[in-house]
Amino acid sequence: MSNSSSITEFLLLQFADTRELQLLHFALFLGIYLAALLGNGLVLTAIACDHRLHTPMYFFFLNLALLDMGCISTTVPKAMANSLHDTRAISYEGCAAQVFLFPFLMSAEYFILTIMAYDRYAAICNPLHYGTLLGSRACAQMAAAAWGSGVLYAVLHTANTFSLPLCQGNAVEQFFCEIPQILKISCSHSYLRSFWVLVVGVWLASVCFVFILFSYVQIFRAVLRMPSEQGRHKAFSTCLPHLFVVSLFISTGFFAYLKPPSISSPSLNLVMAVLYSVMPPTLNPLIYSMRNKELKWAIRKVISWMLLNRDKFPLFFPEMT
């Protein structure tokens, strides 16, 4: 029997046992990781450099892109390194870093998505007061609150998780150090101490979900009352990508953590972890830019500036209004 003070490393779950499949996993994750960095990097550069995108909606999208890059960088590089070197090990400190960073980035992203729902509500339901409700200072304060709340939530989870004695080995049934899997190797009598942290997490997630749901009920009511078909189309084009991202985020995350124990298995847990931790950061830039002409044009301009002629496509950095 071991405890947390004697553990110096953890053993993560492998995607494959054979060397060929491990290298295939490395190549696949490398491609996904580079695609996520490229997509979110282009979005960040486009928003920062195009003065037409210096609006509250794109400011929050910029925060979302930063969080997506951090989220996928927390889990995927270590998984790729383990596949490349044919190992399962991660240091105690590295595991603790993942346990802190992943909840921090995921919870902050959820809070940002909630704020983005409020942004769309204010823009569509209260357009005359939009500038007052979401001025530069208000946007900065809301973004800071989302990031700060994510830090506090992650500190709470990390402190609670590593305060429990670990007496069931050091094998984690996931490709990164995930809190529920760490709790499974804690002493059974100590597991109940984490229940109150789970209650706090479920309560926060439920409050955000209800707020998002209420916002979109009001948004759709306002859109359906619009006399102009062009106005309805423009409203839907800004709301549907966000709604799709929120639906993907909530459905995969809730199913992964709240699925019935009867259908739980290491393979299913592995697939669900990839769906909610790897795919959203990769797909979000594509989802948001698919129907957004302004963002697509800004991204094209950035790519042209990078590949063709710096003088032909100048970049601007005015302050957000």
CATH number at residue 233: 1.20.1070.10
Tokens of 16: 């494959």
313 assigned to some structural domain? no
Q: What is the pLDDT along the chain (321 residues), one digit of tens a residue?
A: 445 557 888 999 888 888 899 999 999 999 999 999 999 999 999 999 889 899 999 999 999 999 999 999 999 999 999 999 989 999 999 999 999 999 999 999 999 999 999 999 999 998 888 888 899 999 999 999 999 999 999 998 898 888 888 877 888 888 999 888 888 888 765 556 556 767 777 888 889 999 999 999 999 999 888 887 877 888 888 888 888 889 888 887 777 776 666 676 777 878 888 888 898 899 999 888 887 888 888 888 888 887 775 554 454 444 443
73 assigned to some structural domain? yes
CA gap 158, 179 in Å, rounded = 8
Tokens of 162: 């590593």
319 assigned to some structural domain? no
316 assigned to some structural domain? no
**Displacement of CA 187 from its chain's centroid (Å):** 31
What domain range is 102 assigned to?
4-307
Contact (Cβ atoms closer than 8 angstroms) between residue 79 and residue 16:
no
312 assigned to some structural domain? no
pLDDT score recorded for residue 236:
81
315 assigned to some structural domain? no
Contact (Cβ atoms closer than 8 angstroms) between residue 96 and residue 53:
no
290 assigned to some structural domain? yes
Domains contained in the chain, number? 1
Residues whose CB is less than 8 angstroms from the CB of residue 296 and which lie 6 or more positions away in sequence, other chains included:
289
pLDDT score recorded for residue 275:
86
Q: How many CB atoms lie within 10 A of CB 81?
A: 12
127 assigned to some structural domain? yes
CA gap 166, 182 in Å, rounded = 8
CA gap 156, 201 in Å, rounded = 10
pLDDT score recorded for residue 321:
38
pTM of the model: 0.88
